[in-house]
Amino acid sequence: MKEAIRQRALELGFDDCRVTSAHPPASLPHFERWLGSGQHGEMTYLARGLPKRASLERILPGVRSVIVLAASYHPVGPAPEAETLSLTVPAGAQSLRGVVARYAQHRDYHDLLAQPLKALAEHVNRLGGPGTRSLADVDTGPILERDLAQRAGLGFVGKHTNLIRRRAGNWFFLAEILTTLELASDPPEHNRCGQCARCIVACPTGAITAPFQLDARRCISYLTIELRGPIPLELRPAIGNRIFGCDDCLEVCPWNRFARAGRLLGESVRADLSQPELIELLSLDDESFRRRFRDTPLWRAKRHGLRRNVCVALGNSHNLRAIPALQLAAHDLDPVVAEAAQWALEQIQGCPNP
């Protein structure tokens, strides 16, 4: 039965399918200590969902197994090189284009994976027969999916705290199906980082404080996506021209040499999100933002969050051509955007007033 489920998952376009029990992962106490230290920042939903993360029975009564799936978002052909700026280039010569994390250069993965995942859950119910219940999830439910994926043998947790697959590197999404069907568990994957510490060295803000330890409050992905208030002043220069997420710790992983293009997301790439023009993004009104980003991961940052990020990136560009747009943004009704624009102006020309 497990092989029939796996075969159907591959037919639906998933790149891998593994199974583990519904028992809480052994790493749960580490997660609880991490929450207790406050390193999750403003992501209060992580703590709110702790009882369900600790007991999947609270999500699906009678749950016996977790089917864990991977969907690669590695691009077809060579991966595009991100245009990261060098802060040593003379003022006025910097790029006015932003960098978006690779996973977000697609239509929203929640939408892309929902239909095949639902189809697989229905297949599981048919195989299990009357009384079998299954619940599908794509990165929204209170599930310790990374840890369950490692226990299911899908990959191993790297020193950057992300999951790594030996045959796919870092470039993949996870999805799960909780089911009341009893399935044999696959053997767990073991860590294969060895002595490599490239991800720790690569982190621009020092968010990876030690192997397998992440302070999310310093992570550029957190700062540009989850954080709603001002980005801490001391971390702004390290953000460079990243306006949504960061791939630096993922990019340097040597396991990426085995990455292969995914089948489910191959046609969903948004070319306009590869290196978007920063000044254009800063000029978007509510309706323009909605039309352009409603079906992409960037929607999560909201218009004010993206504009805040763009202001920081423009400040880091030291490009005089950004001044008119920033002067307008410095009078924005949102105080977080206005402050970021004012900071950016000061980086470019040292002016205290727009």
Sign of torsion, CA 218 219 222 228? positive
| Structure confidence at residue 74 (pLDDT) | 87
User: What mean pLDDT comes out for the span 164-178?
Assistant: 94
Write the secondary structure of 29-45 as one string of H (helix), E (strand) and C (coil).
HHHHHHHHCCCCCCCHH
Question: What predicted TM-score, i.e. pTM, was given to this entire model?
Answer: 0.91
Domain ranges of the chain: 2-186+197-252+273-349
| Structure confidence at residue 271 (pLDDT) | 85
Percent of the chain with pLDDT over 70: 94
Is there a contact between 155 and 17 (Cβ–Cβ < 8 Å)?
A: no
* pLDDT at position 83 over 70: no
* pLDDT at position 106 over 60: yes
Indicate the helix (H) or strand (E) that contains 70. strand 65-72
Residue-wise burial string across 206-222, b where 16 or more C-beta atoms lie within 10 A, e elsewhere: ebbeeebbbbbbbbbbb
Q: 139, 248, 272, 334: which is the annotated catalytic residue?
A: 139
Is there a contact between 321 and 353 (Cβ–Cβ < 8 Å)?
A: no
* pLDDT at position 178 over 70: yes
| Structure confidence at residue 87 (pLDDT) | 38
Residue 27 exposed, middle or buried by CB count within 10 Å (0-12, 13-18, 19+): middle
- Give the closest residue to 39 by CA, choosing from 162, 200, 210, 218: 218
| Structure confidence at residue 269 (pLDDT) | 84
Residue 143 exposed, middle or buried by CB count within 10 Å (0-12, 13-18, 19+): buried
User: What mean pLDDT comes out for the span 89-110?
Assistant: 78
Does the active-site annotation cover 108?
A: no
Query: In angstroms, rounded to a whole number, what is the distance separating the alpha carbons of residues 203 and 35?
Result: 21
Residue written as token pair 């932003």: 98
- Give the closest residue to 120 by CA, choosing from 107, 105, 137, 106: 137
What is the DSSP pairing of strand 172-179 with strand 134-137?
Answer: antiparallel
What secondary structure letter does DSSP report for 216?
G
Q: Which pLDDT band holds residue 82 (cuts at 50, 70, 90)?
A: very low
